[in-house]
Structure 1
Amino acid sequence: MLKDKGILEYGNLKIPYEIDYGKRKHIYISIKNNLVTVKVPLRTNKKIIEDILLQKEEWIKEKYQIQQNNVRRELIFMEGEMFYVFGKQYQLKIRYEDCSQVSIYIEHDNLLVTLPKSYQEKELKPILEHSIQKFYQKLVKNKIEERITYLSEITSLYPKKVTIKKLTRSWGRCSSSGNISLNRDLVFYQDKVIDYVILHELSHLKYMNHSRDFWNLVAEFMPDYKEQEKILNNKK
């Protein structure tokens, strides 16, 4: 099985694609995990593939944008992919330089990853995944520390300990001993959503339930908290 990879450019929109050559009679296009896959018969002329991608431009852009709006989608760590950072999208750009280590920073609308030139022949996905996850972890740690400090001061509710980690079934947890755990995936969301999750868990320090008193306390400091819940539940 032969495969080619590249970037589709539709104006300012850049979309990762993969051409899969195999024993088949027809051409199929699918979009999954923000990657356009074009399955074609063996020895299909490249011009034919380009023409089909041009014909399907509007369909590809529409389906791709729908997937991009899911901030918790599965990432493929490929140049041109869009990454969320605190509610805003940035396009992954890769640059090779004379350096000894990986560096990541935001430049305009890009998530720029600088790699040593020696990495050009390496499999990039594990390198990018590890580096970007570390970058995310640092960002979300700083953000949560800042917002916890502020929200604790205005509510007079102070947790004993705050932990940031991967949570599979919730955005946050509060234990009866006063410890709070927060989901590291909050890095994808805007400040207001992060504030809601923190405020929700802080309120559990006073009410270890979801009673009317609990929700009244949440609403006291964030009257529009239901809007933030909708965003978290992807109900826009």
Structure 2
Amino acid sequence: MSEFLGSSSPLVSSSSHKIVYNNKVLEFHVIRSYRRKKTSEISVVNGLVSLKVPMTTPIQEIESLITRKANWIQQRICEQNNPYITIKVPTYSTNSTLPYLGKNYPLKIIEYDLSLLEFSNDQFIIYTKKNNIKRLYEEWLYRMSLSIFNPLIERYSQILNVTPKKVLLKKLKSRWGSATHSNIINLNIHLLKAPIDVIEYVILHELSHLIERNHSHRFWKLVSDNMGDYKTKKRWLRINGPYMM
């Protein structure tokens, strides 16, 4: 089944498909877009598989890509159907929840002329008359991130004996952080949705790149020497990550 989203000259179309792989039916949703020129992108969220492709991509090419990635897709689906998932995807509606430091806190929305967000007594309260719940929440994450990130950056910088040139906060869609060759550390504000120990792992990971630039054996030994259980944090992030961005 296919449908077009837009006006009489659609920029996006969507359709549902399925293939059989290893005697199992694998269903997936294809989103075609004229804005996407070359690359394709696969995502698995809530057990649902989506594939974003350029508008003119042949269905045979799409099915071939899904087949090549089938093992990876099935692994992600299995991971997401397990009790280790703790983060709920926000709907930004009253009586829903917003994630913060690994927990899901109740959200209460109160109609008010001014727009502001309060977090107290383990509850988010947003005062607004506008449809800006997500923006207010993400602005709050920006403000809170400095008080959470800075002590951890200082701690692990001292442990590793490194000095980042600067730390930048960004709203990223596919990475939790990065380290540039000029020693600038980028951190994703959505990390504030993860538990503190997971945030520590990401910060240690990126600061370790100031010593070892790639993911070599030496890099992972450096991480392991300073956080022996880093694989547990890495796994939590891989499983819950799709619900946080």
Q: Deviations over 1:55-107 (max 9, x none)?
A: xxxxxxxxxxx89x46373x32100111111111101012346xx63232222
Q: Which residue of 2 aligns with 1:83?
A: 98
- Supply the distance in 1 between the matched residues of 2:230 and 2:182 (Cα, whole angstroms): 25
C-alpha deviation, 1:209, in angstroms: 1.2
| The one of 136, 148, 167 aligned to 2:153 | 148
| The one of 69, 88, 108 aligned to 2:121 | 108
CA contact (8 A) 1:70 1:234 kept: no
Q: Which residue of 1 aligns with 2:202?
A: 197
| The one of 134, 137, 142 aligned to 1:132 | 137
| The one of 66, 87, 94 aligned to 1:71 | 87
Structure 1: gaps spanning 5 or more residues: 1-31, 34-65
With the length of structure 2 as denominator, give the TM-score of the two structures.
Answer: 0.60
AA partner of residue 232 (structure 1): L
AA partner of residue 135 (structure 2): H
- Supply the distance in 2 between the matched residues of 1:89 and 1:148 (Cα, whole angstroms): 25
Q: Deviations over 1:170-218 (max 9, x none)?
A: 2111111111111111010011000100100111100111111111111
Q: Which residue of 2 aligns with 1:214?
A: 219
AA partner of residue 205 (structure 2): H
- Supply the distance in 2 between the matched residues of 1:70 and 1:227 (Cα, whole angstroms): 14
- Cα gap change, 1:90 to 1:72, in 2 (>3 Å): closer
C-alpha deviation, 1:225, in angstroms: 0.2
- Supply the distance in 1 between the matched residues of 2:169 and 2:88 (Cα, whole angstroms): 17
CA contact (8 A) 2:201 2:233 kept: yes
- Supply the distance in 2 between the matched residues of 1:168 and 1:133 (Cα, whole angstroms): 13
Residue correspondence of structure 1 range 6-17 to structure 2 within 5 A? none
- Supply the distance in 1 between the matched residues of 2:226 and 2:86 (Cα, whole angstroms): 28
Paired residues, what number?
162
CA contact (8 A) 1:84 1:188 kept: yes
Q: Deviations over 1:95-133 (max 9, x none)?
A: 346xx6323222223111234xxx3xxxx4x32122111
Q: Which residue of 2 aligns with 1:23?
A: none
Q: Secondary structure at the match of 2:239?
A: coil
Larger radius of gyration between Structure 1 and Structure 2:
1
Q: Is 2:196 the partner of 1:183?
A: no
CA contact (8 A) 1:89 1:109 kept: no
Structure 2: gaps spanning 5 or more residues: 1-44, 47-81, 241-245
AA partner of residue 103 (structure 1): L
- Supply the distance in 2 between the matched residues of 1:90 and 1:185 (Cα, whole angstroms): 15
| The one of 225, 231, 236 aligned to 2:230 | 225
With the length of structure 1 as denominator, give the TM-score of the two structures.
Answer: 0.62
AA partner of residue 227 (structure 2): M
